Structure 1
Amino acid sequence: MMNKLQLLRSFLATCLIFSFITILVACSESSTPSAPSESWGEKHFLWKVSDENSSVWLLGSIHIADASFYPLPSVIDSAFATASELAVELNTSDEKVMNDLQWQVKVRGELAGEKLRDVLPAELWNSLDSVCKSWGLPISAFETKRPWVVASTISTYAYMMAGMKTEYGIDNVFIKNANASGKPIISLETVEEQIDALAGYSYSDSAGICFLKSTMRELPKARTMMRDLVHAWKSGDDELLNLLLSEDNTEDYTPSELQFMEELTQHILVDRNANMADSVASFLRDDRNVFVVVGTAHLAFEKNNVIENLRNRGYIIERY
């Protein structure tokens, strides 16, 4: 069944999304106060993966967070301090990466000779129009954008309104720390690969409409979902995390829409998980001491995650 796809997008792809959200809409980040700090759990979404003579750290990220996350537990900061390199999905501090990202979104996120109003079902367009008016966003900014761009932007903006900021995202903080300490930064994916996960197939507009439909339905729950997601991350609660990411909300979807969502999940999670596991395996073969930060769902979400993939290859897995 389909996951809470708009939550997954924010959870996995905000490095990508927040890079162009300000291009699409003129807005500032929310000034909502951060949530009170809560106690950290005994375990974190932090793993050490080892072979006979080397090890790599893997940390699950929330790409949009708030100040209550910091300072992080000492075991996480200590693991980063011992690493020689940082690996992230995309190095957003690299100007070349950011320029390529903006160009790719401009080229691949634009409708070809159509308007969004004509692409979306009337009911969905009206719902989007109402949300934009209530948030003070100009719907004209979306006029020529593909549905997946609009859904991603609306979803992440909802979490901004809940007080979350990209500058506090776990990976963004470690990118900043790596630059400050002189650690080399590795991008595990290219810009094109991240865009392909969202739009690299012939039916992307149809799938994007399903994505937007799901996003609009879940907006009233966005603040609660983010609160629960933050609690799951801080407490290291795998069960709650998987419950949040797997809740079924597909009762009025057609069979073709369900198929679109299943294939999107394959693109977003399963295929990328395998590639990330290959990267970690290559670091271990080359005896590279790397601290890897990727979306937590890549490491902990049900089957076919990166940790399970590496365990099946015979590597030693320890959780901290």
Structure 2
Amino acid sequence: MVIILVLGMLSLVSSCMTLPKTGRATVLDSPNSPDSPGQTPPPPEQAQDSTQDGIAAMNAGRQDPLVWILEKPGVRLTILGSVHLAHPGMFPLPDYILEAFDSADRLVVEVDLSRLTPGYTQKITMEAITLPKGTSLLELIPEQTSDRLIEVLTDYPLPPGFAESLQPWALEQLLITMTAAREGIHTEQGIDAYFIQRAISQDKSIHELETLEEQLGYFQLIPRESHIASLDHTLESLEEIPGDIHALLQAWKAGDLHAIEALIWEDWDPDRADDVINQILLTDRNHRWVDRIEAMIHPGGTEPSPQNAARGENLFVVVGFGHLVGEESLVELLVDRGFTVRSTF
């Protein structure tokens, strides 16, 4: 579950708020990311060859992040899997990625926080992540989990009582984010955040696949016992998080689809609590996103005119990599809608 939350979902706690010494939540300003093309980064050590069929087989041994190109008449989608947490060593991005972005008409991301005011973002986020007034998380979780949480919190500089005021999923996100930050890995350096800033600098249109309110609302659909089970699992495995994140970032830089898929799905069990979460936060959202991408391409359900089809619609799509691997991935669902994987690079 740890790697799912880091990779495929929500910067929620991490990108919407941080904890100053006063203990009050404040919204992070958008970073000023560089916007000049860079050189291809050096290959990570011991990058694994991909051994899967199809796309993975086409990219065995690659040393650069993986990009999909999907096409159907009049439409070209360039899809890049994002890691929402990253470090400065992830940049500069390879020229081929920057050139694909620069030639696109529009950027499509999960959520565009740049369009929201800090005050609004903070208000909506804090309402979602906090428990009802007078409720303590320690009252909702089993005694064993509570004891483990109290022990863990001694190592994290949180204001007194703040952790106990959070929804279990929000505290889990916060602990993961703070643990990653100790390794120099931060949400403000995430790949999606970088391209939002690049789009702004180029005055390129930005479209979002869902609103912040929708993202936060997905957590309401997950049974609380699933959230608590996931929190308990994360509390047990906090020491493994830095290794998991570094393995993920190395696989991302190598374009190693097999390694990324293994990190996400190797322990998949449909009867386990965190796989209820995977269904809601990954698979279900993929199905909604396919509809919304098609709506962006064909407003009102209309097919493009011959003139527009000849000109072509070129979208650059950045979503968490967890949405691009496994069964019912976004790529697989787009192929079901008539797109063809022209190539990957």
- TM-score, scaled relative to structure 2: 0.79
- Match for residue 329 of structure 2? 305
Of 111, 121, 143 in structure 2, the residue corresponding to residue 90 of structure 1 is 111
The answer for the alignment partner of 2:2 in structure 1 is 6
Change (3 A) 1:64 1:289: same
Secondary structure, counterpart of 1:186 in structure 2: strand
Q: 1:173 is matched with which residue?
A: 194
CA deviation string 1:25-76 (max 9, x = no partner): 67999xxxxxxx6417355321111112221211100011011111111110
Q: Which moved more, 1:111-120 or 1:268-277?
A: 111-120
- In the TM superposition, residue 175 of structure 1 has moved relative to its aligned partner by 0.7
Which residue pairs with 1:291 in the alignment?
Answer: 316
Residue 100 of structure 1 and its aligned partner are, at CA, apart by 4.3
Match of 2:113, SS?
A: coil
Q: In the alignment, is residue 142 of structure 1 matched against residue 163 of structure 2? A: yes
Q: Structure 2 CA distance, aligned partners of 1:162 and 1:199?
A: 31
| Equivalent residue runs for 1:1-320 within 5 Å | 5-22=1-18, 38-39=42-43, 41-42=62-63, 44-96=65-117, 98-112=118-132, 113-138=134-159, 140-201=161-222, 203=223, 205-248=224-267, 258=271, 260-285=273-298, 288-299=313-324, 301-317=325-341, 318-320=343-345
| Identity level (%) | 27
Q: Match of 1:274, as an amino acid?
A: H
Deviations 1:154-196 (A, max 9, x none): 1122111121022210010111111111112111111122112
For 2:130 and 2:12, the matched residues in 1 are separated by 16
What is the DSSP-based 3-state SS (H/G/I as helix, E as strand, rest coil) of the residue aligned with 1:87? Answer: strand
Cα deviation for residue 242 of structure 1 reads: 1.3
Distance 1:63 1:266 in 2: 19
Letter paired with 1:127: R
**Cα distance in structure 2, aligned partners of 1:262 and 1:230:** 23
Shift of 1:224: 0.8
TM-score by length of 1: 0.85
Counterpart contact for 1:45–1:296, Cα < 8 Å: no
Between structures 1 and 2, the one with greater helix share? 1
Aligned to 1:32: none
CA distance in 2 between partners of 1:270 and 1:249 (Å): 13
Structure 2 residue runs without a partner (length 5+): 29-40, 45-61, 299-303, 305-311
What letter matches 1:9 in structure 2?
L
**Aligned in 2, Cα 1:220/1:13: closer, same or farther, shift over 3 Å?**
same
Write the distance in 1 (CA, Å) between the matches of 2:198 and 2:64.
Answer: 23
Checking the alignment, whether the CA contact within 8 Å between 1:80 and 1:291 is kept in structure 2 is yes
Query: Is the CA contact 2:107–2:199 (under 8 Å) kept in the aligned structure 1?
Result: yes
- What is the CA–CA distance in structure 2 between the aligned matches of 1:104 and 1:208, rounded to whole Å? 20
Counting matched residue pairs gives: 299
Q: Residue 318 of structure 2 aligns to a residue in which SS? A: strand
Q: Which amino acid aligns with 1:193?
A: E
Residue in 1 that maps onto 2:55: none
Tell me how far apart the structure 2 counterparts of residues 109 and 227 of structure 1 sit (CA, whole Å): 27
Q: Is the Cα contact below 8 Å between 2:64 and 2:94 reproduced in 1?
A: no
CA RMSD of aligned residues (A): 2.5
Aligned equivalents of 2:213, 2:109: Cα separation in 1: 15
Give the AA of the match of 2:200. Answer: N
Amino acid at match of 2:210: E
Q: Which residue of 1 aligns with 2:38?
A: none
Name segments (4+ residues, structure 1) moved above 4 Å. 23-29
Unaligned ranges ≥5, structure 1: 30-36
